[in-house]
Structure 1
Amino acid sequence: MSDAYAEAGVDTHAGDLAVELMKASIARTHGPQVLGGVGGFAGLFDVSALRSFRHPLLATSTDGVGTKVAIAQALDKHDTIGQDLVGMVVDDIIVVGAKPLFMTDYIACGKVVPTRIAQIVAGIADACAATGTALVGGETAEHPGLLGPDDYDVAGAAVGAVEADAVLGAERVRAGDVVIALESSGLHSNGYSLVRHILKQRGIGYSDTSDDLGGVVGEVLLEPTRLYTGALARLLDGTAGGSVHALSHVTGGGIAANLARVLPVGSWVEVDRSTWTPHPVFQVLSDWAGSTLASAEGTWNLGIGMFAIASPDAVDQVIAELDGQGIPGWVVGEVSTSARDLTGFEQGAKGVDGGAVRLVGSYS
């Protein structure tokens, strides 16, 4: 029957080799809390440390990296997609103030190429290690006939923990709180369907060199998602941690919508565009599309990967601590609850009845 399975396009031996190649990478993320190693039916994680919590809550998140994988496949470059995956999943968990505990991944592919799978998983493991997350398991599934031999997609899920009275969110935000933008590394992992459409319309290939972008187009577009969890976890544990009231991960939906989700109903923020200059990649793509940066504010992060909302007296300390960990930040606005006309504001998003946000001014 195994020969028949191979004839159907599934190579179980290749799958076994892929597991062997990725074992060392995964092991680097394991501490004493991980039991059983790699290859079991389920990952085991010792959560007895949660007994020291007064009221522990578990936080969970799942995501993928979207059509960014098409560029990795086109360039046969697979060592950054793993970081994108971890960023998209784990950085959602820190938003509620939770520290990540463990993560699992899922890779679906048309054909298991062991070295390629190992590269993807190595990227996941490196990013897990950087964010203090144990990679406790995963699955690689071969789908011949459904996916092409060089096609794959990745997804992941993670679990974290937070004290019930330390959960961050809109209920902590007050009028006068200051909105701090945290710099992105580039496009991160959202809006790539638009990116790919622009390149197709312009007849630009991923392997082409662009003077405007300053390098090979696909390599610039594969700049990995910045990881915020480690730095933010250390910030929340420090003296300024109690002054951080909410965080927002700027992913699908863009700048205003994601910030609105963590603001209380009845509040509003005007984000001042003049406080930052979007990365060149955004301007170049907008120019190629014949559009403006403002028209992409609901699709791309335009240089802001995360927001932190903090009390005014802690702003300088928050910015200094994060900058010291390699994440530049700057003030973009202030939370207000005064009465005003909210026409033109983004109000809530993704089923959340949040506050109202709009971008004002011109980019510097």
Structure 2
Amino acid sequence: MPKKTKKGLTYARTGVVAKDAEASFKTLIAWVNKTLQNRPEVKTEVGLYATVIDIGHGQGLALSTDGVGTKLFIAQMLGRFDTVGIDCVAMNVNDLICVGARPMAMLDYIAIQNARHPLLGELGQGLYHGALQAGITIPAGEVAQLKEMVRGLKPGIGFDLVGTAVGLVDLNKLVVGQGIEEGDAVVGLASSGLHSNGYTLARKVLLSKFKLSQRPKGLGRTLGEELLEPTRIYVKPALQMLERCSVKALIHITGEGYRNLRRIRSAAGFVLDRFPEIPPIFKLIQKEGGIENTEMAHTFNLGIGLCVVVPRPEAEEVIRISREFGIPAQVIGHAVKDPEKKIVMPSLKVVGKSDRFHEES
């Protein structure tokens, strides 16, 4: 991926991130953090993928909440709603496994403009298929009709889709990126596409150049099909890896891209010097938007949806398990001792630090 000019689009320039919003977010977190003193059973700090609460007998209850985001606009444009439920399940259960938890259940929340619209049935189909892939149940949820608050791209089809998932983990097997040593392998499991992140930027770039019915060169299918591809669910291979390998970290590549590799307790960084060929959809976004490598690494998964950190001798077993479930995987880098937790991506000539990615100096 060639270096791009600084005139290219970024998430900030699409209005997603702003300094005043960051300040507001920090204020919210400051208040919410005060509640931690109410329940000393909370065993994880803010910033990990899921919260774990000690429920006794050596067991922890893992909690995660997330939504599908503006990928829902693609569903609205195509008039197809039977896959985004899979995304909702995926975004939650993929976070739970990153603390070593076995996902058990998810509750969904649907805020909708018109509760009589048949899209609710299609959303249910997706939730069912996502739950099937993850091995969980969806025993309850909430549908809120908010005609005056929720708006879509077309009258009557506005909605938001969010989930909250729970799982169980043995507290003595909690995975929080502890004990990572120099030379540990980073195994990357392939994503199925954009998953559910980066859509505001992707839509801004691609929908100004193409129709969803078009087949841009290299994709092999329509742009709409590519953008609506469901987020891959990694639960079943990850549980096998946790059982059979010495997994030190599981890292879901979601919002903020490869900076997620910093969400570990160890004083370690990573050098991703064996990064695979980047899939065509990401190359298309970068080319058409003139987007810098720093922004690509900060916003998109670039073809890897889950990273697994294990001792180097166990990397082949992780790869084998992943492939058993039909998911391509390979070693993409290694760990290094680094209190700053830098993420070095030589093929992109970028380095991720505390705030974001920068060009390699």
TM-score (norm 2): 0.76
1:357 pairs with 343, 348, 352, which one?
343
The 10-residue stretch of structure 1 (78-87 or 288-297) with the greater mean CA deviation from structure 2:
288-297
| Percent of matched pairs sharing the same residue | 34
1:90 maps onto 2:70 in alignment: no
1:324-347 deviation digits (Å, cap 9, x = unpaired): 111221112221227xxx9xxxx5
Q: Secondary structure at 1:112's aligned position in 2?
A: coil
| Superposition map of 1:187-336 within 5 A | 187-202=194-209, 204-237=210-243, 239-240=244-245, 243-255=246-258, 257-262=259-264, 264-265=266-267, 267-272=268-273, 274-293=274-293, 295-336=295-336
Q: Secondary structure at 1:323's aligned position in 2?
A: helix
Deviation at 1:362, TM superposition (A): 5.1
Instruction: Name the residue aligned to 2:178.
Output: 171
Deviation at 1:356, TM superposition (A): 2.1
Q: Distance in 2 between matches of 1:362 and 1:198?
A: 20
Q: Distance in 2 between matches of 1:284 and 1:135?
A: 37
Change in CA separation of 1:157 and 1:84 when aligned onto 2, cut-off 3 Å: same
Instruction: Name the residue aligned to 1:18.
Output: none
Is this contact kept in 1: 2:114–2:146, CA < 8 A? yes
Instruction: Name the residue aligned to 2:72.
Output: 69
Q: Distance in 2 between matches of 1:185 and 1:269?
A: 23
Deviation at 1:231, TM superposition (A): 1.4
1:279-321 deviation digits (Å, cap 9, x = unpaired): 1111111111123555411000000101000012211111111
TM-score (norm 1): 0.76
Letter in 2 for 1:301: N
Is this contact kept in 2: 1:54–1:163, CA < 8 A? no
Q: Distance in 1 between matches of 2:312 and 2:214?
A: 47
Is this contact kept in 1: 2:184–2:310, CA < 8 A? yes
The 10-residue stretch of structure 1 (140-149 or 288-297) with the greater mean CA deviation from structure 2:
288-297
2:111 pairs with 103, 108, 111, which one?
108
Instruction: Name the residue aligned to 2:40.
Output: none
Is this contact kept in 1: 2:107–2:163, CA < 8 A? yes
Q: Distance in 2 between matches of 1:233 and 1:315?
A: 15
Q: Distance in 2 between matches of 1:201 and 1:132?
A: 39
Deviation at 1:169, TM superposition (A): 1.7
Instruction: Name the residue aligned to 2:164.
Output: 157
Q: Distance in 2 between matches of 1:113 and 1:252?
A: 33
Letter in 2 for 1:284: L
1:75-129 deviation digits (Å, cap 9, x = unpaired): 1011110111111011100000000111100111111245311111211111112
Is this contact kept in 2: 1:85–1:124, CA < 8 A? yes
Letter in 2 for 1:158: A
Deviation at 1:73, TM superposition (A): 0.5
Letter in 1 for 2:342: A
Letter in 2 for 1:264: S
Is this contact kept in 2: 1:253–1:299, CA < 8 A? yes
CA RMSD of aligned residues (A): 2.1
Unaligned runs of 5+ in 1: 1-49, 348-354
1:55 pairs with 55, 58, 79, which one?
58
Q: Distance in 1 between matches of 2:336 and 2:236?
A: 30
Deviation at 1:200, TM superposition (A): 4.3
Q: Distance in 1 between matches of 2:275 and 2:183?
A: 18
Letter in 2 for 1:223: E
Letter in 1 for 2:131: C
Deviation at 1:263, TM superposition (A): 5.4
Deviation at 1:198, TM superposition (A): 0.7
Q: Distance in 1 between matches of 2:229 and 2:317?
A: 29
- Matched residues, number: 292
Letter in 2 for 1:165: N
Letter in 2 for 1:305: G
Is this contact kept in 2: 1:60–1:160, CA < 8 A? yes
Deviation at 1:210, TM superposition (A): 2.9
Is this contact kept in 2: 1:179–1:333, CA < 8 A? yes
Is this contact kept in 1: 2:275–2:333, CA < 8 A? no
Is this contact kept in 1: 2:177–2:250, CA < 8 A? no
Q: Distance in 2 between matches of 1:109 and 1:205?
A: 26
Q: Distance in 2 between matches of 1:80 and 1:293?
A: 30
Is this contact kept in 2: 1:181–1:332, CA < 8 A? yes
Letter in 2 for 1:359: M
Q: Distance in 1 between matches of 2:266 and 2:148?
A: 48
Deviation at 1:213, TM superposition (A): 2.9
